[in-house]
Amino acid sequence: MSTTETAPPETVNEHGYRSFRIGGFSFARDEHFVHIDWPTGSHVMSAETFLKAVMRDVSWNFFYGIVNFDAVIGTMNHYGNVDLFAGRYNSAYRRAELDHQENFPADDLMGVFQAILADWTNAGYDPFAAPQETGSPFGPKRGDNLGAITRTRVTASRMVGVPGDEKIRSDDNGFPVNRMFADVAQTEPEVHAEPGYESEVAAFNLFGYLSRSDVTWNPSVVSVCKDSLYCPTTEEFILPIIHGNDRVEWFVQLSDQITWKVEDRETGSVRATVVMKAGDVAAMPADIRHQGYSSKRSMLLVWENASPALPDLIASGQAPTVPVSF
Ligand code: PHB
Ligand code: FE
């Protein structure tokens, strides 16, 4: 028997939703909540919180390290296989021995999460959108929103705007300036390349590009230099996951303000509150988890080191959890 089973589509509950199972975990939703069961316990989450978190986990291919949907449920990426856990990074669950985790091939868990998202996201609700820019996730099943949940993430090979790479955003290709960024200049830099270098020299207006983002809390890879990835994003309301780092991440606050709640990655105990104002730079350590709050839509540059060697180097103590010690 396969570890992956999904209920046949005709098996829907009284609210119109399918239920799903992978290994010992099962997932069901009603008009307001998602109910998750595993052999040693169960959990309930707001359908809104759950859908926004699963949307990021799917779109980011399980991301770097840990994606906590909340203080109980989440995934830990081992790059090829993934742990699905309940209470594993929660000291109270650990002490009570109620925590549980199972490891799955990444493709199997991805298939189940994609099927959940497709079935549980109602027409008019976009899990990537700011709260004031989308409809309600709640209620009985009402159509779907496959276009919104299957957006491809922007991942430049070299840089946005380079010939053949990710395109600059404009009104014409469906990216109008967001209501919160009406004051952002839209001029593009002039590039005068020497003959023969036209495909090697490029520049674009990053603030203009971000002002036209239609999603929140969704870093785009806009430039790549070996393992160095610039992943800027626009933020409004709350980061829908609590991210447990497996490497250092640098944050550059490009506009407005974000408050970060920073906790211990293993236990969830509070470590710091970091208020970042425009121009502030912070390095988030490799042994923390964090969740950001942005009152007004803001622009954040997340700078990632994508080296696949890092998680093991850090876990084995060969590389530090912070980029600098004072
Ligand atoms: C992060 O976990 O570092 C992160 C994720 C998504 C964002 C911003 C930061 O939009
Ligand atoms: Fe992070």
Looking at residue 211, what is its pLDDT? 98
Question: pTM here?
Answer: 0.96
Q: Whose CA is nearest to atom 6 of ligand 1?
A: 217
Sign of CA dihedral 7, 12, 13, 17: positive
Q: Residues for the chain: how many in total? A: 326
CB neighbourhood size of 7 (10 A): 16
Q: Which atom of ligand 1 is nearest to the CA of 233?
A: 10
* Residues in contact with 115: Cβ distance below 8 Å, sequence separation at least 6, in sequence order: 6, 18, 20
Looking at residue 10, what is its pLDDT? 54
Q: What percent of the chain has pLDDT over 90?
A: 94
Q: Which atom of ligand 1 is nearest to the CA of 218?
A: 10
Q: What percent of the chain has pLDDT over 70?
A: 97
Report CA 170 to chain centroid distance, whole Å.
24
Ligand 2 centroid from CA 195, angstroms? 42
User: Which pLDDT band, with edges at 50, 70 and 90, does 326 fall under?
Assistant: confident
Q: Which atom of ligand 1 is nearest to the CA of 56?
A: 6
Over the chain, what is the mean pLDDT? 96
Secondary structure class of 227 (helix, strand, coil): coil
Query: Which residues contact ligand 1 via a Cβ below 6 A?
Result: 217, 219, 233, 235, 239, 243, 249, 300, 302
200-253 residue pLDDT tens? 899 999 999 999 999 999 999 999 999 999 999 999 999 999 999 999 999 999
Q: One-letter amino acid identity for 85?
A: F
Flag whether pLDDT at 9 surpasses 90: no
Ligand closest in space to the Cα of 52: 1
User: Which pLDDT band, with edges at 50, 70 and 90, does 11 fall under?
Assistant: confident
Phi, psi of 150 (to 5 degrees): -115, 20
91-139 residue pLDDT tens? 999 999 999 999 999 999 999 999 999 999 999 999 999 999 999 999 9
Helix %, strand %, coil % of the chain (to 5): 15, 35, 50
Specify whether the CB–CB gap between 112 and 128 falls below 8 A.
no
Q: Which atom of ligand 1 is nearest to the CA of 235?
A: 10
Q: Whose CA is nearest to atom 7 of ligand 1?
A: 217
Phi, psi of 161 (to 5 degrees): 95, -15
In eight-state DSSP terms, residue 178 is P
User: Which pLDDT band, with edges at 50, 70 and 90, does 199 fall under?
Assistant: confident
For residue 168, give Cα distances in angstroms to 20, 179, 183, 206, 304.
Answer: 39, 19, 19, 9, 22
Surface-to-core class of residue 270, CB atoms within 10 Å of its CB (0-12 exposed, 13-18 middle, 19+ buried): exposed
Ligand closest in space to the Cα of 302: 1
Q: Which atom of ligand 1 is nearest to the CA of 300?
A: 8
Rounded CA separation 166/221 (Å): 10
DSSP string, 74-128: EEEE-SSEEEEEESTT-HHHHHTT--EEEEEEHHHHHHHHHHHHHHH--TT--TT
Q: One-letter amino acid identity for 244?
A: G
131-171 residue pLDDT tens? 999 999 999 999 999 999 999 899 999 999 999 999 999 99
User: Which pLDDT band, with edges at 50, 70 and 90, does 4 fall under?
Assistant: low
* Residues in contact with 7: Cβ distance below 8 Å, sequence separation at least 6, in sequence order: 18, 19, 20, 21
Ligand 1 centroid from CA 89, angstroms? 19
Flag whether pLDDT at 8 surpasses 70: no
Sign of CA dihedral 209, 283, 106, 46: negative
Residue to probe by mutation, ligand 1, list 302, 303, 304, most atoms within 8 Å of CB: 302
Looking at residue 1, what is its pLDDT? 38
Q: Which residues of 64-80 are buried (b: 16+ CB within 10 A; e: fewer)?
A: bbbbbbbbbbbbbbeee
Q: Are strands 257-264 and 73-77 parallel, antiparallel or unpaired?
A: unpaired
Looking at residue 6, what is its pLDDT? 54
Flag whether pLDDT at 24 surpasses 80: yes
Rounded CA separation 34/31 (Å): 9
Report CA 186 to chain centroid distance, whole Å.
27
